[in-house]
Structure 1
Amino acid sequence: MTMRLDDALRETFFLATDIEPLSNIVTKHTIHQYMDKLVVESASELADKLLPLNLEEENQLKKKVAYLLFEIKESKNNVQQLQTEHDKMQNSIKMLSRQMSESDERKTDVLNEIKLLRQRIDERNWGDAVQDMIRMLKLVKDLERKESDLLSSCKLTHADVEESFSYGGQLGIAEFDQALSQSMEKLTSAKRECAAKLRAILSVKRKIGDVPTQVELIQYERRFSELYSQIQEKHRQTSKYYDTYNALLEIKELMLKETSLLNSINSQLQDALTSSIGCSKLVDSMEVIVKGAQQKLEKVQLSLLAEKKHSDSLREKHTAAIADQRHFSSLLKAFQDECTKNERLSQLVQNGMASSSSLWCRTELEM
């Protein structure tokens, strides 16, 4: 019986000593104190009761030993749980330290990028553009804030209106129907007005579409000039053909007259050689022929004078047109020079306005 008690105490002592390597947290000291107390108490009780024990005392001692073993197991489980929690905390601390290092690396990268951007801005003289962008971002933020305020106010008004409708409001059902009918009438009238305006706009757009653009006008002008040159060439060829035809007709008439004259002379020559009457007739016919030739010559000379006058007038017009062309070319050259000067001056004015606006923006930002 004493050997059993010794074995039980030894087992409790060994269990108490087995807990020690698992307790690496704050409760280690308290567990050791508790186990020392248990060992001392059990040893003192054993020293007091080395005498032969009765059955009741032996049962009490067994119960006490079993209770102590149960408490030791529970403390061991608690120590294991605390150890797992400690490991979890260590892992979380490691993860947090890793995240902190990553965030520090990101911070350094962002700072380096900011330095590089500032260097690029300083190298490329983008300070004004950056200031303008900052000013625009401020304006965007202000507009977003105003938009949020407006949305909040709209939501409040919407909530008030819904509340007024939900709790009955001042308008009754009949008044509401009347207001709805009036609004529908206004809507239909507005739709009619919009339709009329739309028809007018479409008609104006159709008229505008019918009007040719500058490019189309230039194409039409080029085509008209080509057609005019073609018509002029056709007219010149036609007039040339008519002139040749008329000349050939005149030559034909002259040849026919000449043949008739020769035939008449040939028919009258025998009579003229044989009698004086035939000779006088021949002379009279020759005088008539000479008069006709002189009249024809006068007509031809008159037509020649008219053609000379026409050619002189055309030459005068040609010289005047050449003078006008020279004058117009000089005016065009002067106009082109003035246009180039105007473009140069307008570019200088725009550059000055841009520089003044940038200076004004810079002063506004500095203020």
Structure 2
Amino acid sequence: MLARRSREVARLHRVLDDVPSRGELLQYEKRFLELFEEINATREEIDKRFAAYNFYNEERKLQAQEGELVASVHSSFVPAMRSASGQRQFLEQASRFVESARTLAQKQTVQLDKRRARRDAKAVERDALADSQRAYFRAVKQLQQQAERNEALAARIQEAGLEEPAE
């Protein structure tokens, strides 16, 4: 009978030891937050590098197009100026280049507007997440205060002898 009761007490102690204490839970929470922040920092760094790569790649393409345009104008200028029809064709070609540049500028403006809209949407999302995080921290603080209050009340009850201590 005593051995069975000792085994039961030992089993219950193991069950209780498996439940993390408040301090351990706070440590786990702190470590999870640290890991979350580290992952966020890494993700932000990767996003910045991708954005920089995409920006420089687009810039390289635009400069290549500009170089081709300048080379084309340079190679066709002298032969075009020799005759009136050549001059007219050169002016028509130049006006097409100008129109092409305007179209490209409009496309770039549209892209810029889209990027600004995405940035603004992400700012709103970030603000909402920050509000959620602040609410979470307030709730955790309230939970900690209530747990401390509960422990103090339990200690007072035990001191008053109104309840047997729990094992």
Q: TM-score, normalised by structure 1?
A: 0.34
* TM-superposed deviation, 1:321: 2.4
2:62 counterpart (254, 257, 260) = 254
Residue in structure 2 matched with residue 318 of structure 1 by the alignment: 126
Residue in structure 2 matched with residue 340 of structure 1 by the alignment: 148
Asked which structure has the greater CA Rg, the reply is 1
- Pairwise mapping of residues 229-268 of structure 1 onto structure 2 (< 5 A)? 229-268=37-76
Given the superposition, is the C-alpha separation of residues 320 and 239 from structure 1 closer, same or farther in structure 2, using an over 3 Å criterion? closer
* TM-superposed deviation, 1:230: 4.3
- Secondary structure of the residue aligned to 2:44 is helix
Residue in structure 2 matched with residue 284 of structure 1 by the alignment: 92
2:77 counterpart (259, 263, 269) = 269
Q: Distance in 1 between matches of 2:157 and 2:108?
A: 71
CA offset digits 1:203-262 (Å, max 9, x no partner): xx9xx9xxx86459x659836952x54444343333323322222222222222222211
- Pairwise mapping of residues 1-367 of structure 1 onto structure 2 (< 5 A)? 214=20, 222=31, 226=35, 228-353=36-161
Query: Amino acid of the residue matched to residue 71 of structure 2?
Result: N
Q: Distance in 2 between matches of 1:328 and 1:235?
A: 23
Moved runs in structure 1, 4+ residues, more than 6 A? Answer: none
Q: Distance in 1 between matches of 2:125 and 2:150?
A: 36
Unaligned runs of 5+ in 2: 1-10
Q: Distance in 1 between matches of 2:78 and 2:142?
A: 83
Given the superposition, is the C-alpha separation of residues 238 and 325 from structure 1 closer, same or farther in structure 2, using an over 3 Å criterion? closer
Q: Distance in 2 between matches of 1:328 and 1:223?
A: 14
Indicate the RMSD between aligned Cα atoms, in angstroms. 3.4
Residue in structure 1 matched with residue 3 of structure 2 by the alignment: none
* TM-superposed deviation, 1:298: 2.0
Query: Amino acid of the residue matched to residue 31 of structure 2?
Result: R
CA offset digits 1:284-323 (Å, max 9, x no partner): 2212222222222222222211211111112212222232
Q: Distance in 1 between matches of 2:62 and 2:69?
A: 10
Contact 1:271/1:278 (8 A) holds in 2: yes
Query: Amino acid of the residue matched to residue 346 of structure 1?
Result: A
Contact 1:268/1:278 (8 A) holds in 2: no
CA offset digits 1:102-128 (Å, max 9, x no partner): xxxxxxxxxxxxxxxxxxxxxxxxxxx
Unaligned runs of 5+ in 1: 1-204, 358-367
- Secondary structure of the residue aligned to 1:274 is coil
Given the superposition, is the C-alpha separation of residues 242 and 320 from structure 1 closer, same or farther in structure 2, using an over 3 Å criterion? closer
Q: Distance in 2 between matches of 1:213 and 1:347?
A: 21
Q: Distance in 2 between matches of 1:311 and 1:291?
A: 30
